[in-house]
Structure 1
Amino acid sequence: MGNHSHGGPNESGTVATAGQDSSETFRDPGLPPHRPRLADTDPAAAKKAERQVSWLFIISILGTLLFFVSYFVVGHTTNIADLRLQNMLLGLGTACAMLGIGVGIVHWTKTLMPDTEWVQERHEITKEEDRQKAAKMVEDILDESGIKRRPLIRNTLIGAMALAPLPAIFMFRDLDTSKLSAGEMVDRLRYTMWDKDVRLVRDPSGLPIKASDVQIGSAFHVIPDGLNELHEGKLNEKAKAVVLLMRLDPSKMQISPGRENWHVNGIVAYSKICTHVGCPVALYEQQTHHLLCPCHQSTFDLTQECKVIFGPAGHALPQLPITVDPEGYLVAQSDFKSPVGPSYWERGER
C-alpha cells in the first residue's frame, strides 16, 4: 500500500476545505461595454424611428375611430351578416387602439430611450433631500425619454391615450338604455318568452317538434314558437330563451322531488346559456350524457339534472318543464323555474 498522505484530494488542493483562502475576494467585473444603437449614432435613423412610433400611435387613434364608426353606424338591424360585420370591426378597432399604443411605447423604448446600464449606489438621504432628489429623478426620466424634444411622439401619444378609453366607456354606458329600475332590470333577466303551451320549435327553421321525433342520443337546438316573428328585441329574447332538447333512458335519470313530470318519457329541455358567463352550451356527449361549454370547459351532467361536475360554472342549467299537446307536439308547461344565465345578486328561485 502506498502512502496517500501527499497528493490526495484534501492535500492536493482539488477540493476546497472550510476556511481555505477565506480572505480571497472576487474582483468586480463591472458593467459590459455599451453597444450604441443605430438611432444613437445616426440622426436620420433616430428621425425614422420617431416617425414609426408616431405612426403606431396614429394607428391607435384610427382604431378608436373605427370602433366608433362600427358601433354607431354598422349593425343596427337584425341582419346576421350586418351584426357579424359590426362585431368584426369592433374587435379590429379595439385591437388596433390597444396594440398601437402598446407596440408604439415598446418601439419608442427600444430605439430612442437611453439603454445604458448604470448602477446607483445605495446611500442614506435625509428627509430634507428626499423631495429634491425625487423631483430630480422625474426630471431625469423626462429628459431621458426625449418627450420634451420630440413633440410629434408626445402629441400623437396624448391623442391615442385620450381616445383609447372611450370605447370601453361607451360600451358600458350602452349596456342598457331603457332607464328601467333595478327591480325591472332583474325581472327582464328573470323571465323569458317561454310560457304555458308555447311550442318548442327548431332553431332557426321554426318547425315544431313532436315527441316521436326525439330519439335517444339526439339533441335539438330549440327556441320558443313566435320568436322568429319578433321585429324588435329578437336577439335579446333569443339570448335568454334558447334551449337544448335531448332524450335519454328514464332509468338513468336522477329526478328530484317536484320534477317528476317535467320530462316526457326521458325527453328533457335545459337552458343553453352557461351559468358561468353566458356562453352557449352546444356540445353534447351522448355516451357520458355530459353537456360542455366550449368557452371555459364547464361540464354539466344531464343524468343529474345538469348539475355542474367540472369547471367554473356556479350552478346547474335551469330546466324547462315540458309536456305534449293533443297533437303530440312538445310544449312548455311554464317559464323556467329559476333565472337563466350567470349569477347575479338578486338571483333566486321564483
Structure 2
Amino acid sequence: MAANVALLSASSPSTSAAASFLSRRPLPRCCSGAAFPKRASSRLSIMAALGDDPIREWILTEGKATQIKGTRSIGGGCINSAQRYDTDAGPFFVKTNSRIGPEMFEGEALGLKAMYDTKSIRVPLPYKVGSLPTGGSFIIMEFIEFGRSRGDQSNLGRKLAEMHKAAKSDKGYGFHVDNTIGSTPQINTWTADWIEFYSKHRLGYQLELASRRYGDSAIYEKGQRLIKNIRPLFDGAVLEPCLLHGDLWSGNISSDTKGDPVILDPACYYGHNEAEFGMSWCAGFGGEFYNAYFQNYLLLAYKATAGDMKIVAGRFLP
C-alpha cells in the first residue's frame, strides 16, 4: 500500500520541512472542543453524496488505490471519530473532527513522523492532513492491525529507550509547533533550559488553565510555590532534550499482530526523558518495563559517550 507516501521530510522534522510537507501554519494557542462521532459520520456521508470528499480523493489518487471496498467506524476516543477504509491497496486509518480545524491533526502528524523517523518503536505513519468541506478536519494514516494485548512490557521499555536516545534537538526543549494533549493546548516554544520550559510551559500553563476554568486559587498558589522551588529537585540529574511521546497512557499503547509495541496519539515535544512517565499513574507500567527502559537507556548513553571518547582520543593521541 502507500507506506511510502510521506507528509513530512524524510529527514528531521524541521519547521521548513513541516511547511513543505503540510503547508500549514503553527497550532494556535487557544484550541478546544470535541467531536461527536455520529455527527462526524453524517458529515462524511453528506460529503460522499455530494461527491466532494477529500479523504476518498486522496486515497484514490496519492494513496494508489483504485477501489474503496468499504468503510467502518472503529474506536476513535472521546475527541475524534475514526474509520477504517478498506481498499484494493490495503486499509487506511482515518480520524475526523467536525469542530476543530486541521492544526490539531497537523501537530499529531509532525509528532508521528518524528517518532517514525527514529526507526525504533512502531508508530502509524501519517499520510495526509486536511480540512473537510463541511467543517472540521481529517488525518489519514497507516492502518496497523493490533494484537490481542499490549505486548511485552520489557520490549516496550527497550524500544522507548531507543526512541529517546535516537532523536535529539539542537534547539533545546520544545517542538516545531504547538500541539495538543487530548484537546488541551500544549505550548512548545523552544527554550534552552529544561526547568524553565517545564515550569512555564507545562506546570505553569496547566495551572493557568485550571485556574481560569475552575477558579481554584488554593491549587494555583500551591503550584506556584512548587514552581519557585523546583530547581533543587533536579540537582544531579542529567538533562538533555530527547523526543517524547508526551501522552503515554494505557489508551495510547498497543501491540501489532507480531507482538511488537505500538504507540499512537502523541503530544510530542523534546524534553527530559523522565517527563515521559508523567502519565504512568494510568499507564500500568510495571517493574519489567522500568528495568528494561533504564538498563537500555543507560547502555545507549554509555555507548554514545564511549564513541565520543574514541573520536577525541583519535584526534589528540598518537
- Which TM-score bucket, shorter chain as reference? under 0.3
TM-score (norm. length: structure 1): 0.20
Higher strand share: 2
Task: Give the number of the structure with larger relative contact order, counting CA–CA contacts within 8 Å between residues 6 or more apart.
Answer: 2
Please give the TM-score of this superposition, normalised by the length of structure 2: 0.21
Q: Which has the larger radius of gyration?
A: 1
